[in-house]
C-alpha cells in the first residue's frame, strides 16, 4: 500500500458523514492500489466540534455533507479558493449556486464532484458528464425522490391514505420528521435542475423548475389509475422543447410499458433519451448513509485521478413553462344525462380530445374519470376552470399529468 497520504476533510458527521468515515478506512487499501495515494480523514467539522480553517488547511479534498445553503456555500467557496477539491452531496446548494461554484472550481483548477447529490448511488451524473458526453440528450425523466416513491407505492399497493403512507415512511426512516422538501417536490426539483444543467449545458436554477408535490393524491386516484392500467409516480422531467427546454416535477400517470413504471418503494431511476442512444434507464437506491457514502467514495477516487471539471455553459436556452401534456381528469358529478357530452365539449373547445373514460357510481356519488390526449397545459387548465363552473360538478376537479409514451 502506498505511503503517500491523500488528506480528506469532512464537513458534517451526520448520517452520510459517519458512513463516509466508516467506509473510507475499509476501502483505503483498494483505493491506494488504484490511485497510488492512501486516503485518510484528517479533520471533521460539526456544529459542536472542529475548526473550519484547520480542517480545510490540513486537507487535499473536502467532503461537504452538512447540507443547507449557509454556511455550506461559503465553506465550499473557501475550500475551492484554497485550491482543494470538493465532493458534495448537497443538491439544494448546487441547484441554487451551482454555476458560481463550478466557475470557481474551473478558475482554481480543482474538481467539484457531486454524484451523491442526485439519485444517491445511481451514477447518473457520471453517465451524463462522461459516458454520454458526446450524445445529444433530448429528455431525462426520473423518479429522483425515494420518499415520495415509497409513499405512492404503498398507497397503490395497500389503498392507504397519503397521511398513513407518510407516517409509515417516517417510521421506516424513509421520510424525515419534516418531510416538506420531499412531498412538495422541491427536493426532486433541485435534482432535476442539476440534471438539466448537465444534459443541456445551460444554466438552470431550481426556481425555474415547475413543481407540484404529492400531498393532494388520494387512494381513489390510484384506484382509478389501476382501472385505466396506469401507475402513479412523482416524475421529474427535463426536455428539449421548440422554444428551449422545460424542466418540471409533478405527479404523473405512466402506462405499464414505461421504464419507470415498475420502479417501486424507496428506489430511484432515471431514463435518458437521445436519438444517438435511444434510451438508457439507471436505477438503484436513492438515499441512505452507506449508499450515499459509496457514491461519495467514487467521487473521491475520481478526484484523486485528475482531471475533470464542469465546463462553462455553452448554451443559454429559454426555460419554458407551458408545454404539452396528456392529463387524467377526475370529476365528481351529479348523475344526469348529457354530463359527459358537456364536459367533452368544453375540452374540445380547447383542442382536447378524450382518450379513455371510466364512469362509476350513481346519483350523488357519480364519478367521471378520463384521460385526454396531449395539449398545452394552459389550454387544458382553461377547460378545467370552465368545467369546474358547470352546475353538475360537485367538487373541485382533480387533474394529474399522464405520460403517454409507450416503450418497447
Ligand atoms: N441522508 C441521506 O440519505 C442523503 C442522501 C443523499 C444526499 N444527502 C445529502 O447529504 C447532506 C448531509 O445529509 P445527512 O443526512 O448526513 O445530514 P445530517 O444527518 O443532518 O448531518 C449533518 C451534519 O452536518 C453538521 N452541520 C450542520 N450544519 C453545520 C454547520 N453550520 N457547521 C458545522 N457542521 C454542521 C451536523 O453537525 P452536528 O452533528 O453537530 O449536528 C451533522 O454532523 C445533505 O446535503 C443531504 O441532502 C443525504
CA distance 90 to 71: 12
Comparing C-alpha atoms, which of 281, 310, 227 is closest to residue 405? 281
What confidence tens digit (pLDDT) does each residue in 48-95 have?
Answer: 999 999 999 999 999 999 999 999 999 999 999 999 999 999 999 999
CA distance 181 to 194: 16
What confidence tens digit (pLDDT) does each residue in 387-397 have?
Answer: 999 999 999 99
Mutate to test the pocket of ligand 1, among 17, 67, 72, 179 (most ligand atoms within 8 A of CB): 67
Going by alpha carbons, the residue nearest to atom 29 of ligand 1 is 47
CA distance 98 to 193: 10
Q: Is 191 in the pocket of ligand 1 (CB under 6 A)?
A: no
* Mean pLDDT, residues 230-237 taken together: 96
Residue-wise DSSP of 98-113: HHHHHHHHHHHT--EE
Superfamily of domain 124-285 in CATH is Dihydrodipicolinate Reductase; domain 2 (3.30.360.10)
Q: Is 16 in the pocket of ligand 1 (CB under 6 A)?
A: yes
Q: Is 17 in the pocket of ligand 1 (CB under 6 A)?
A: yes
Q: Is 292 in the pocket of ligand 1 (CB under 6 A)?
A: yes
The pLDDT value recorded for residue 408 is 47
* Three-state DSSP class for residue 323: coil
Mutate to test the pocket of ligand 1, among 44, 47, 180, 298 (most ligand atoms within 8 A of CB): 47
Domain 5-117 has CATH 3.40.50.720: yes
Instruction: Name the catalytic one among 191, 233, 360, 396.
Output: 191
The answer to whether domain 124-285 and domain 324-403 are alike in fold is no
The pLDDT value recorded for residue 361 is 78
What confidence tens digit (pLDDT) does each residue in 325-338 have?
Answer: 999 999 999 988 88
| pTM of the predicted model as reported, rounded to 2 decimal places | 0.87
Taking the CA of residue 13 as reference, the ligand 1 atom at the shortest distance is: 43
CA distance 49 to 170: 29
Q: Is 285 in the pocket of ligand 1 (CB under 6 A)?
A: no
What confidence tens digit (pLDDT) does each residue in 112-168 have?
Answer: 999 999 998 899 999 999 999 999 999 999 999 999 999 999 999 999 999 999 999
* Mean pLDDT, residues 259-286 taken together: 93
Angle between helices 146-158 and 219-227 (to 10 degrees): 70
Q: Answer yes or no: is pLDDT of 7 > 80.
A: yes
Distance 64 CA to ligand 1 centre (A): 8
Residues 6 or more apart whose Cβ sits within 8 Å of residue 246:
210, 237, 238, 239, 319, 320, 321, 323
Q: Is 186 in the pocket of ligand 1 (CB under 6 A)?
A: no
Distance 170 CA to ligand 1 centre (A): 18
CA distance 279 to 139: 9
Annotation marks residue 360 as catalytic: no
Q: Is 65 in the pocket of ligand 1 (CB under 6 A)?
A: yes
| Class of the domain covering 324-403 | alpha beta
Domain ranges for the chain? 5-117, 124-285, 324-403
Taking the CA of residue 120 as reference, the ligand 1 atom at the shortest distance is: 6
Q: Answer yes or no: is pLDDT of 304 > 70.
A: yes
Q: Answer yes or no: is pLDDT of 2 > 70.
A: no
Amino acid at each position: 500500500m502506498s505511503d503517500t497520504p491523500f488528506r480528506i476533510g469532512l464537513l458534517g458527521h451526520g448520517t452520510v458523514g459517519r458512513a463516509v468515515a466508516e467506509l473510507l478506512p475499509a476501502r483505503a487499501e483498494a483505493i491506494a492500489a488504484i490511485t497510488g495515494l492512501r486516503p485518510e480523514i484528517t479533520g471533521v467539522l460539526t456544529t459542536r466540534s472542529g475548526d473550519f480553517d484547520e480542517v480545510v488547511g490540513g486537507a487535499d479534498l473536502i467532503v461537504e455533507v452538512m447540507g443547507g445553503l449557509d454556511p455550506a456555500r461559503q465553506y465550499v467557496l473557501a475550500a475551492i479558493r484554497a485550491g482543494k477539491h470538493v465532493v458534495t452531496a448537497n443538491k439544494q446548494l448546487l441547484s441554487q449556486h451551482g454555476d458560481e461554484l463550478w466557475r470557481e472550481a474551473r478558475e482554481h483548477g480543482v474538481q467539484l464532484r457531486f454524484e451523491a447529490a442526485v439519485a444517491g448511488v445511481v451514477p447518473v451524473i457520471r453517465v451524463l458528464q462522461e459516458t454520454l458526453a458526446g450524445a445529444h440528450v433530448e429528455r431525462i425523466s426520473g423518479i429522483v425522490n425515494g420518499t415520495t416513491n415509497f409513499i405512492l407505492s404503498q398507497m397503490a399497493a395497500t389503498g392507504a391514505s397519503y397521511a398513513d403512507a407518510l407516517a409509515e415512511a417516517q417510521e421506516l426512516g424513509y421520510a424525515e420528521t419534516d418531510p416538506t422538501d420531499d412531498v412538495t417536490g422541491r427536493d426532486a426539483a433541485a435534482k432535476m435542475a442539476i440534471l438539466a444543467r448537465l444534459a443541456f449545458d445551460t444554466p438552470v436554477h431550481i426556481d425555474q423548475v415547475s413543481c407540484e408535490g404529492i400531498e393532494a393524491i388520494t387512494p381513489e386516484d390510484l384506484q382509478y389509475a389501476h382501472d385505466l392500467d396506469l401507475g402513479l409516480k412523482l416524475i421529474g422531467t427535463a426536455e428539449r422543447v421548440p422554444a428551449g427546454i422545460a424542466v418540471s416535477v409533478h405527479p404523473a400517470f405512466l402506462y405499464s410499458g414505461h421504464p419507470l413504471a415498475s420502479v417501486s418503494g424507496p428506489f430511484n431511476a432515471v431514463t435518458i433519451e437521445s436519438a444517438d442512444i435511444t434510451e438508457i434507464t439507471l436505477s438503484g437506491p436513492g438515499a441512505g448513509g452507506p449508499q450515499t457514502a459509496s457514491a461519495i467514495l467514487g467521487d473521491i477516487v475520481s478526484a484523486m485521478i485528475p482531471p475533470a471539471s464542469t465546463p462553462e455553459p455553452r448554451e443559454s436556452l429559454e426555460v419554458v413553462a407551458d408545454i404539452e401534456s396528456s392529463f387524467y381528469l377526475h370529476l365528481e358529478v351529479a348523475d344526469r344525462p348529457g354530463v359527459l357530452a358537456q364536459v367533452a365539449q368544453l375540452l374540445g373547445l380547447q383542442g382536447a380530445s378524450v382518450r379513455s373514460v371510466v364512469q362509476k357510481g350513481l346519483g350523488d356519488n357519480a364519478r367521471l374519470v378520463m384521460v385526454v390526449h396531449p395539449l398545452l397545459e394552459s389550454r387544458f387548465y382553461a377547460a378545467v376552470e370552465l368545467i369546474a363552473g358547470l352546475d353538475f360538478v360537485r367538487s373541485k376537479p382533480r387533474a394529474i399529468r399522464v405520460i403517454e409514451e409507450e416503450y418497447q
